[in-house]
Amino acid sequence: MQLVENTNWPSMTRLILSASWQTAFHVHYNRLPVLLHCSHGWDRTSQVAALSQLLLDPHYRTREGFSTLVEKDFLSFGHPFHTRCGHGEGKNEQGGDEGQLSPIFIQFLDCIFQLVNQFPDYFEFNPRYLLLQSEHIYSWRFGTLLCDSEQEREVVAGIRQRTYCMWEYLDSIPDLINPVFDRATSEKAGDLLMPLL
């Protein structure tokens, strides 16, 4: 356990969840707008914005809603999957900067994993759904999480025309549905999820 703590991964997970909860709290209870912006605008910003919406809105806790959330807050806003994951680049090839590698999306999935474990009745998908996404970031089997921007995916690489969609694949696997999910309870609650940090 000490080895994991030494990576600072658990503390980063707590910080991201805490920032997300604070954001959602101010939106929900104080009815305040919140401006989010990390140094580049596409790492912590996407993580905190998406997690806050997940805490606030039960729609994003469904498979359809979750794919919409990722498409909106990571893909459309230009999260640099290629740069952060090092897709296809060896050490310093093509001007690659190793300092740009960072498991931002994996951290995001881990935060959701923590929420799914704390609130299993509130999520339509199970932890395996998240695990498969984490595997397919690096599998190159689907074009969904490739490239650094929407323009690069659509115009330069033509990814959607040349690859399969990860969301369609995940939706085709019935074992990824959470058997204890209760849509009525999730929607009726309508309140902010309050994770243990």
pLDDT per position as a tens digit, 99-156 = 676 788 899 999 999 999 999 999 999 999 999 999 988 888 887 877 677 777 676 6
pLDDT of residue 36: 82
Torsion of CA 177, 180, 182, 183, to 10 degrees: -10
183-192: long-range pairs with CB below 8 Å, 24+: 183/58, 183/62, 183/124, 185/121, 185/122, 186/58, 186/61, 186/121, 186/122, 186/123, 187/58, 189/58, 189/122, 190/58, 191/28, 192/21, 192/24, 192/25, 192/28, 192/29, 192/55, 192/56
Q: Is 147 a catalytic residue?
A: no
Nearest C-alpha neighbor of 63 from the set 132, 162, 13: 132
∠ CA 185-188-192 to the nearest 5 degrees? 95
pLDDT of residue 40: 62
* pLDDT tens column, 33-60: 988 876 665 577 889 999 999 999 999 9
Q: Exactly one of 38, 85, 147, 165 is catalytic; name it.
A: 38
